[in-house]
Amino acid sequence: MKPIVILGIFNADTTYRADRLPKIGETILGQHFALGPGGKGSNQAVAAARAGGRTHFITRLGADDFAKVARATWKTAEVIPEVTEDAGSHTGAAFIFLEAATGNNAIIVAPGAGARISPSDLDAKADLIRSAAVFVTQLEQPIPAARRGLEIARAAGVTTILNPAPAAALDDAMLDLCDFITPNETEAETLTGLPVTTLAEAEKAADALMARGVGAVIVTLGSNGALYRDRKRSVHVPVISVGPVVETTGAGDAFNGGLAVALSEGRDVIDAVRFGAATAGISVTRAGAAAAMPARAEIDALLARG
């Protein structure tokens, strides 16, 4: 089976659980702290590898202790690292606030070496990208690097997925490189200028993105599941609930990793969206981001139950 190649950054996640965020100048007491692996690209690579995909991850790390956390995380998940070590910067780190009552989150990312990923890093891995079944990128690293990865993949006929997170304005030329784009409601609003609060509004936003060149759109809708829309069909895939929600931090990354695996296996796209939804549905019942990603057997068992 051809590999999945993912571009992105690794962060050491510092997670704080409290009743609310403090105001400027205020100090409050939290209920829990944890240090663990994160970064959207890294999380997606872990999700894809644990879901059964042969997954390569292109990134930059500093020469520091957080880089050791990254490498240990990937080794456990069987992610194949494609790393440039950047001694002139630090490995990325993130502040994650978790609202105790709901599990909802707010995040600040300091990408460090990840912010220095450049198009030349992608050119150096061009043969690997061309060999892939699926290429995935997000926007935590600089946009020119993401664009170059998409260009290399598209020229080779590799399926391309853009998870446009964090939200950013993108030009039509970049959108035209995307076979699939996977925004959440906020990201879809940023890209289109249209409100996305209902399924009908999500469909309009999807149409606007396709008019700008995207092949197909998957809008992730949180507790309302996901909308798949292309030029021939529109399908709402409900959320796959497994149990009480513990933490939503890595849900989108779980979805994208699972989606990439299913597409790499040649599944019908709606089946691939369901596979991604099952991956995310399991992940939110656990604490952490990378640590919450389910194994392939768990995903298959959940889908087998219908």
Task: Identify which of 199, 178, 285 has the alpha carbon closest to the alpha carbon of residue 242.
Answer: 285
User: What are the CA-CA distances from residue 224 to residues 5, 212, 221, 249, 264 (Å)?
Assistant: 29, 26, 5, 17, 26
Give the whole-angstrom CA distance, residue 212 versus residue 89. Answer: 36
Active site residue 179: no
**Tokens 């571009």 belong to which residue?**
7
Is the distance from CB of 183 to CB of 202 less than 8 angstroms?
no
Catalytic residue among 253, 268, 271, 300: 253
- In 3D space, the residue among 58, 118, 70, 63 whose CA is nearest the CA of residue 94 turns out to be 70
Q: Which residues are identified as catalytic? A: 253
